[in-house]
Chain A
């Protein structure tokens, strides 16, 4: 984002392009963009169809949500060597930015205060309406032309769904920030970064609910020695087949299906080219492998204990504020209840929108893929993700009948090559740090900012994510499917976590991530599970070796490699 400091913007500098990451700008002026790789959501290269769906949804979603709030920033994204780069650009003359931003902040503030009504009366009903649209369409029975129409409508729906997404998250994260800032204002002498956020803990959300359901499934599994042993003994991707061979196993799978029908509409990340748990329950079995060998615990009691601690902390603050002007008390109470809801919505919007929505969008793509594969245009249904949206539409409409096998394998191979390359965090022009302001504050708390490297090479600086200090064996994990190596008490080291990773938080002793700030998914959930987290380390997955003994200090935001 170009700088708008009062003393004039610093001279933008071109960012050097690494030799192993050649960049061909689609248009010459793209080199002027300040592009950033969103490593939290899209750390890996993603295929063409997905990037077009995302690119459109995110560019339009953010830009339209920003227009609704009057935020003078628009979003544009570029697909470079299969990586997804974004750029936030001012949409108003620089000299008007400050004033426009202030007006926007007032509108976001208004939405923060109406969060509950907006969520229950506007956004959630609209999300459900979109989901119902997809559910009402019989993919299997549609002819090619109906499917083409449906695919096109799906692309439009996807854009709208993601506009709703950013209409939600803007005031949700705004509300968390407002509360955090008010708290710091009131009790400025306190150094503990988590004090305010403790008042938001122990409220049930869809991620915790999913985790409890999975936990209870693990107890069901333990009821049968046979089922339990099968789950423990076999690799996660072979368990389903083995269970299907026994009566006990079959009845367990029936229970599993019930679980998946409610909670299985989630992939391992935000990527739609990867199967959801319903299609491939391997990630669920992977977590179950951990869960079945754990002694009994009571997740509901854990939540209640968190809630009790929260209520206690809230009443301490209320007592302290007793002698304050009523305006302050009222403001505190409003911000508190809004932030509590916002804390829940950081997870719940993902359950309803990101994952249920993505699952349905994916199913439309997969159906198109299987038709195109049947027609001999692409090798397999999954290869549809290597096509462009136009290629899919043209092929479904019968305008494109030539075989695309070569294009598909070429794109796949190129993507596989770039998966081995460390993509640069930024491309194009460096416009310096974004101007200070509430929006920037929220971005920093969510995405984090790169920390200063420590002089001691054994020390990795990050951001405080969740309090506590533990030592343990590092498990450097690059994807959810890779996480079955994580044993109880070990330290999960990864790029970023997303809601489908939540059940692992009851397995890990601590979490360390490359990306994120104190309001990132990882930090929020780690606090719910009372495990330490250091987020936004930048080079955790490269600087920490799998199996090393590390010490995680979640209060200081520091990781130390012990041996």
Chain B
């Protein structure tokens, strides 16, 4: 199977969709995960040679058919004709935890329409074969043969606020605390470190907010036609807390519940849109074991 859906059991397999997608897929039934489909390693093996050396504008017809079908189904799930999606790559290695690859692969946000989605997928595959990633993999001691790539196409949450939440304090190693980094707009500015996000530290046993550092949030990532753009945060919003108390509680609750479910400390990405909290990513906290 080349195309697998988040939530379906065959999409839980790290060896064909990668750890990131497999985690999300397993959680999709019980958590609010935006709908999406994944082009598995099968798809990568079958079609990516068209894109490894250079981005190929001519997609093989069978690939186009598959993508068209999947995107149409996704449109049905989202109840809009041309859902805006995020196209992200997910690297596959034997353990499935690909956190060390964070930022090494392409992400395309606010893509809509079959042609644009297909183009973004092609670019993900091309980038996986690009020298930049090969170099990185070599340095990380990973061999070419273990490499595989899955691409997730998922409805884009038009985030009012985005956050990265740690179910243990990644700085002090304190496992009794949840740490939330939150800022306005899509998550890219928080994840990419271009904004100093607010930091909320929550004590796990009673959900009390033990520290609240509201920072001056100068930029945010917003959707613009055909993509995203980092823009200035308007003055009225710069120094306002990105999260209400209620939102802090629900994010902390989500991280605690995921930690229990996964049985390891988690690092999650989530977003709030229209009052709902969406889970966008759930990973192992990689730095914690050393501390």
Q: How far is the CA of A323 from the CA of B221 in the complex (A)?
A: 9
Residue among A181, A188, A327, A331 with most chain B CB within 10 A: A327
- The reply to whether B223 and A185 contact each other, CB–CB distance below 8 Å, is no
Nearest-neighbor residue (CB-CB) of B274 within chain A: A326
- The reply to whether B274 and A323 contact each other, CB–CB distance below 8 Å, is no
Stretch at the interface among B6-14, B130-138, B233-241, B282-290: B233-241
In the assembled complex, how far is the CB of residue A13 from the closest CB belonging to chain B, in whole angstroms?
34
- The reply to whether A325 and B235 contact each other, CB–CB distance below 8 Å, is no
Q: Digit string of A155-188 for contact with B (CB within 8 Å is 1, else 0)?
A: 0000000000000000000000000011001101
Nearest-neighbor residue (CB-CB) of A182 within chain B: B234
The residue from B158, B184, B232, B235 contacting A327, defined by CB atoms under 8 A apart: B184
The residue from A182, A185, A323, A331 contacting B222, defined by CB atoms under 8 A apart: A323
In the assembled complex, how far is the CB of residue A109 from the closest CB belonging to chain B, in whole angstroms?
9
Residues A163-215 near B (CB distance < 8 A): 181-182, 185-186, 188
- The reply to whether B232 and A324 contact each other, CB–CB distance below 8 Å, is no
- The reply to whether A188 and B232 contact each other, CB–CB distance below 8 Å, is yes
In the assembled complex, how far is the CB of residue B270 from the closest CB belonging to chain A, in whole angstroms?
15
- The reply to whether A328 and B232 contact each other, CB–CB distance below 8 Å, is no
Q: Note all chain B residues with C-beta closer than 8 A to A325.
A: 159-161, 184-185, 220, 222, 237
The residue from B110, B161, B235, B237 contacting A323, defined by CB atoms under 8 A apart: B110
Q: Note all chain A residues with C-beta closer than 8 A to B236.
A: 182, 185, 331
Given known A-B contacts A323-B158, A326-B274, A331 and B224 have beta carbons under 8 A apart: no
Q: How far is the CA of A331 from the CA of B234 in the complex (A)?
A: 10
- The reply to whether B237 and A328 contact each other, CB–CB distance below 8 Å, is yes
Interface residue B228 (Cβ < 8 Å from any Cβ of A):
yes
- The reply to whether B222 and A186 contact each other, CB–CB distance below 8 Å, is no
Q: Digit string of A312-329 for contact with B (CB within 8 Å is 1, else 0)?
A: 000000001011111110
- The reply to whether A327 and B274 contact each other, CB–CB distance below 8 Å, is no
- The reply to whether B235 and A324 contact each other, CB–CB distance below 8 Å, is no
Q: Note all chain B residues with C-beta closer than 8 A to A322.
A: 223
The residue from A185, A320, A326 contacting B235, defined by CB atoms under 8 A apart: A185
- The reply to whether A323 and B234 contact each other, CB–CB distance below 8 Å, is no
**What bracket does the count of chain A residues touching chain B fall in?**
10 to 19
Q: Digit string of B162-196 for contact with A (CB within 8 Å is 1, else 0)?
A: 00000000000000000000001100000000000
Residues A241-283 near B (CB distance < 8 A): none
Could you tell me how many residues of chain B have their Cβ less than 8 Å away from some Cβ of chain A?
A: 20
Q: Note all chain A residues with C-beta closer than 8 A to B234.
A: 182, 185-186, 328, 331
Q: Digit string of B87-115 for contact with A (CB within 8 Å is 1, else 0)?
A: 00000000000000000000000100000
Q: How far is the CA of A182 from the CA of B235 in the complex (A)?
A: 8
Q: How far is the CA of A186 from the CA of B224 in the complex (A)?
A: 13
Q: Digit string of A322-348 for contact with B (CB within 8 Å is 1, else 0)?
A: 111111100100000000000000000
Nearest-neighbor residue (CB-CB) of A178 within chain B: B236
- The reply to whether A324 and B185 contact each other, CB–CB distance below 8 Å, is yes
Q: Note all chain B residues with C-beta closer than 8 A to A182.
A: 234, 236
In the assembled complex, how far is the CB of residue B86 from the closest CB belonging to chain A, in whole angstroms?
13
- The reply to whether B158 and A181 contact each other, CB–CB distance below 8 Å, is no
Q: Note all chain B residues with C-beta closer than 8 A to A328.
A: 184, 234, 237
Q: How far is the CA of A185 from the CA of B184 in the complex (A)?
A: 15
In the assembled complex, how far is the CB of residue A317 from the closest CB belonging to chain B, in whole angstroms?
13
Q: Digit string of B237-249 for contact with A (CB within 8 Å is 1, else 0)?
A: 1000000000000
- The reply to whether A323 and B160 contact each other, CB–CB distance below 8 Å, is no
Given known A-B contacts A322-B223, A323-B110, A325-B184, A185 and B232 have beta carbons under 8 A apart: yes
Residue among B110, B184, B223, B231 with most chain A CB within 10 A: B231
- The reply to whether B110 and A327 contact each other, CB–CB distance below 8 Å, is no
Q: Note all chain B residues with C-beta closer than 8 A to A324.
A: 185, 222-223
Nearest-neighbor residue (CB-CB) of B158 within chain A: A323
Nearest-neighbor residue (CB-CB) of B236 within chain A: A331
Q: Digit string of B130-154 for contact with A (CB within 8 Å is 1, else 0)?
A: 0000000000000000000000000
- The reply to whether B160 and A327 contact each other, CB–CB distance below 8 Å, is yes
Q: How far is the CA of A326 from the CA of B160 in the complex (A)?
A: 6
Q: How far is the CA of A188 from the CA of B160 in the complex (A)?
A: 21
Q: How far is the CA of A187 from the CA of B61 in the complex (A)?
A: 43
Q: How far is the CA of A322 from the CA of B274 in the complex (A)?
A: 13
Q: How far is the CA of A424 from the CA of B161 in the complex (A)?
A: 55
Q: How far is the CA of A353 from the CA of B166 in the complex (A)?
A: 60
In the assembled complex, how far is the CB of residue B116 from the closest CB belonging to chain A, in whole angstroms?
15
Nearest-neighbor residue (CB-CB) of B109 within chain A: A323
In the assembled complex, how far is the CB of residue B208 from the closest CB belonging to chain A, in whole angstroms?
26
Q: How far is the CA of A324 from the CA of B236 in the complex (A)?
A: 14
In the assembled complex, how far is the CB of residue A199 from the closest CB belonging to chain B, in whole angstroms?
16
In the assembled complex, how far is the CB of residue A320 from the closest CB belonging to chain B, in whole angstroms?
8
Q: Note all chain A residues with C-beta closer than 8 A to B224.
A: 320, 323
Q: Note all chain A residues with C-beta closer than 8 A to B237.
A: 325, 327-328, 331
Q: How far is the CA of A210 from the CA of B273 in the complex (A)?
A: 47
Q: Note all chain B residues with C-beta closer than 8 A to A331.
A: 234, 236-237
Q: How far is the CA of A182 from the CA of B238 in the complex (A)?
A: 12
Q: Digit string of B265-291 for contact with A (CB within 8 Å is 1, else 0)?
A: 000000001100000000000000000
Q: How far is the CA of A327 from the CA of B237 in the complex (A)?
A: 8
Residues A439-489 near B (CB distance < 8 A): none
Q: How far is the CA of A89 from the CA of B238 in the complex (A)?
A: 32
In the assembled complex, how far is the CB of residue B183 from the closest CB belonging to chain A, in whole angstroms?
10
Q: How far is the CA of A373 from the CA of B236 in the complex (A)?
A: 60
Residue among B160, B185, B234, B235 with most chain A CB within 10 A: B234
Nearest-neighbor residue (CB-CB) of A185 within chain B: B234
Residues A12-36 near B (CB distance < 8 A): none
Q: How far is the CA of A279 from the CA of B185 in the complex (A)?
A: 61
Residues B200-256 near A (CB distance < 8 A): 220, 222-224, 228, 231-232, 234-237
Nearest-neighbor residue (CB-CB) of A322 within chain B: B223
In the assembled complex, how far is the CB of residue B233 from the closest CB belonging to chain A, in whole angstroms?
8
In the assembled complex, how far is the CB of residue B3 from the closest CB belonging to chain A, in whole angstroms?
27
- The reply to whether A323 and B223 contact each other, CB–CB distance below 8 Å, is yes
In the assembled complex, how far is the CB of residue A393 from the closest CB belonging to chain B, in whole angstroms?
51
Q: Note all chain A residues with C-beta closer than 8 A to B232.
A: 185, 188
In the assembled complex, how far is the CB of residue A69 from the closest CB belonging to chain B, in whole angstroms?
19
In the assembled complex, how far is the CB of residue A192 from the closest CB belonging to chain B, in whole angstroms?
18
Q: How far is the CA of A216 from the CA of B159 in the complex (A)?
A: 53
Q: Note all chain A residues with C-beta closer than 8 A to B161.
A: 325
In the assembled complex, how far is the CB of residue B224 from the closest CB belonging to chain A, in whole angstroms?
6
Q: How far is the CA of A320 from the CA of B222 in the complex (A)?
A: 10
Q: How far is the CA of A181 from the CA of B237 in the complex (A)?
A: 13
- The reply to whether A181 and B235 contact each other, CB–CB distance below 8 Å, is yes
In the assembled complex, how far is the CB of residue A503 from the closest CB belonging to chain B, in whole angstroms?
39
In the assembled complex, how far is the CB of residue A216 from the closest CB belonging to chain B, in whole angstroms?
44
Q: How far is the CA of A185 from the CA of B158 in the complex (A)?
A: 21
Nearest-neighbor residue (CB-CB) of B275 within chain A: A326
In the assembled complex, how far is the CB of residue B255 from the closest CB belonging to chain A, in whole angstroms?
22
Q: Note all chain A residues with C-beta closer than 8 A to B235.
A: 181, 185
Nearest-neighbor residue (CB-CB) of A325 within chain B: B160
Q: How far is the CA of A483 from the CA of B90 in the complex (A)?
A: 75
Question: Considering the complex of A and B, which 10 residue pairs feature the smallest CB-CB distances, nearest first?
Answer: A323-B223, A185-B234, A325-B160, A326-B160, A323-B222, A324-B222, A325-B184, A185-B235, A325-B185, A186-B234
Binding site for A on B (CB under 8 A): 110, 158-161, 184-185, 220, 222-224, 228, 231-232, 234-237, 273-274
16 A-B residue pairs with Cβ-Cβ distance under 8 Å, sorted by A, are A185-B235, A185-B236, A186-B231, A188-B232, A322-B223, A323-B158, A323-B228, A324-B185, A324-B223, A325-B159, A325-B185, A325-B237, A326-B274, A327-B237, A328-B234, A331-B236
12 other A-B residue contacts (CB within 8 Å) besides A185-B235, A324-B185:
A181-B235, A185-B234, A185-B236, A320-B224, A323-B224, A323-B228, A325-B161, A325-B185, A325-B237, A326-B273, A331-B234, A331-B236
